[in-house]
Structure 1
């Protein structure tokens, strides 16, 4: 099984990167989102990725990246988006209810042989599988933010995932420039976020408990470890909506952090680096 025609559901920060990464490596890709406004924002994100990819891969030569950009098709019609899809990668908000409803709608219109892959960063695919209508062709393919540089592709199935679908997604990951990471059993957070989330959570607890402010926590981490970014800079890159969705499901202190994110940042449009401001301001 070779997966070529690809559809990505969700055109937010990471969804747009998945779309561009796929197109840049020569595969046809369609991006789907629920509103024209969302697609307008996606167009801006995709346009900005042209120079990012040109600089990273081609010493500033925009020809290949521009061709990739022009090959991408966007739509708000789900049936149209998946009519030719061999692989659908879902990158909708990190909410189990939203994901389950998305797959129920997707299963009704996707071709019978289409493989489904969730990009969920924390949810187990087995919690979604019953809503897909094809659990043997459903698994997780998790991308890291800044896909072009942090190019891991964590592949994790459920007990019902067929080996053919699993191997095909591993092959797809490798053909689109990722280092395929075979996760051998279900684990919340896979490998990357099993390491990252507790680190970010520790930083958020320090903040909401009044131990130190965000810049001080970041500075301490960077000076003490030599890391290029502190936890709140990472929060801004990940996006504060994602941070909110994860924290709101956590313990009491994590929920306090979620409430702070909502009132002091998200409701004020400070959604992270992609929006120009989160914990920090960006050009």
Structure 2
């Protein structure tokens, strides 16, 4: 029954997450407007910090950094998304700064304005915009320069907006290898894990598919304007630092990948050299495997073609026989 009713209640929202967020905003509007000073602060995809408490800090695998880590381990090989879509992300510390500044501004507003609901969008719109395709390319570059420990395959995933292509890649590049490795683990008396991990990745990618294949522009003029209200002595502590080197995509995601290594995977920097050696070895294995794969595919196609030609010759000879 709930499976039938849920889509009807949620429409036009794609999932319960966006539906409940909208409900929360309506509750704030209904209960607070005209009575209690209130702010609705809407961040886009919240990811690792830019500078505070230090660059690249995070405590979960959500967002692009999670995809970067999964791909860096060689686990995730395909993402169902439009490569032209802009990946709208915002650093965690920028969100916190924006919320503090918005609250401070609300406290000094006049009564009529103070008791109206203020809405702010915290996004990277017209600040640092990176497409999903560019993000994948950047991730490959970073995983080559700063590989993670014990990668199970060389990171070389791809992004596609074709559902069928993605599904085939999931089967051949993720599911079948996972079944093979889990089978080996079982035969060695160890606990299988890859199929379970891939199932979670598939569910997560399916849940995000709507957002990874549609583009929205979250106007952030009001949020960026908050910075102009700061006193000079507060700029260092509360500036968004959109023009700093830490905001540049390469530098930002470099720190994000390092943060993933340090704070999520607990891989010390001292293991980087060993990880580089292992990654290069996996790259060589991948090249050999791909060469054998293409050679086998060519041989099969050539054999089929030869068989077809021989059959065709036999038919022609039969037709020409008096």
**TM-score with structure 2 length normalisation?**
0.27
Q: Which has the larger radius of gyration?
A: 2
More helix by share: 2
**TM-score with structure 1 length normalisation?**
0.29
Higher RCO (C-alpha 8 Å, min separation 6): 2
More strand by share: 1
